[in-house]
Amino acid sequence: MSDRETKLVEQLVTANRILANEGIVDVFGHISVRSESNPEEFLLSVSRSPAAVRAADIQRYRLDCSPVVEIKEKHYVERVIHGGIYQARPDVKSVCHSHSDNVLPYAVSGEQIKPVIHMGTLFWEGIGWFDRYDADGNLLVSTPSEGKALAESLGKCRGAVLKNHGCVVIGENIIAAVMAAVYLDKNAQIQTQSAIVGKPVFIGPEMGKIASRVFHSPLVQERAWGYWVARLPKGWEVDAGLPLAGHAGS
């Protein structure tokens, strides 16, 4: 796609590749970004595994999840996750849905993920819980009613766990959403491991609010983005259809 927001498209493609490379998504999962030129639209790949997303795969959708331009390619059926959250949360600029291995035990057990490491304080306001699938649903969030219900379950939080399914996280930009996805998984891993060793010491909301501020600074976000990009395999830009300098975080 030749999009008027070329830089944003390139960043979104890079985010897909990073999430796959970091093991947060595999065959399934997706990340989107709200349009900077029209906040009533968002950008999202057509139905592709994140590791295979290319610049030409990025399409533009209205907040009701209808494509701005009709194409022959298939769309993600769960794009209602993104549209529902963008409609409910004008402050959200990026949404990521995944089924990362370390979060899944919490989606299955119903145990709550709580901050136990510094990076986990991104979720100091708590993590939502979604179990309001349609009566005739199939554990996918694929209808407008399910998308709306998920947005309500997310509330003002930065993330929510989906019963028997996975999770969703949000950010004030693409980098923040990637960071939230990576460190929700990391925090869940450490929380599980620490429970084996002894009793986890959780970080309370007051300290969490203060400790989380560093992760919203442009300096820290650019540092994280640079680290993840450096870990991508050689030649990934060409495979993704990006110019060699087109993956900058800002």
Q: Are 78 and 30 in contact (CB under 8 A)?
A: yes
Residues labelled catalytic: 78
Looking at residue 250, its pLDDT comes to: 45
pLDDT tens digits for range 187-211: 999 999 999 999 999 999 999 999 9
Least confidently predicted of 70-74, 92-96, 132-136 = 70-74
Looking at residue 129, its pLDDT comes to: 98
CA dist 197 and 192 (Å) reads: 9
Q: Is the pLDDT of residue 244 over 80?
A: no
HEC-encoded secondary structure of 66-106: CECCCCCCCCCCCHHHHHHHHHHCCCCCEEEEECCCCCHHH
Here the CATH number for the domain that contains residue 217 is: 3.40.225.10
- Within-domain flag for 244: no
CA dist 230 and 100 (Å) reads: 22
Strands 166-171 and 159-162: what pairing? antiparallel
Is-above-0.85 flag for pTM? Answer: yes
- Within-domain flag for 174: yes
Strands 128-130 and 159-162: what pairing? parallel
* C-alpha torsion angle, residues 138, 139, 142, 143 (rounded to 10): 70
Looking at residue 4, its pLDDT comes to: 72
pLDDT tens digits for range 108-154: 999 999 999 999 999 999 999 999 999 999 999 999 999 999 999 99
- Within-domain flag for 196: yes
Domain span at residue 165?
Answer: 6-239
Total domain count for the chain?
1
- Within-domain flag for 248: no
Q: Is the pLDDT of residue 247 over 90?
A: no
- Within-domain flag for 217: yes
Rg, Å, the chain Cα set? 17
Q: Are 102 and 192 in contact (CB under 8 A)?
A: yes
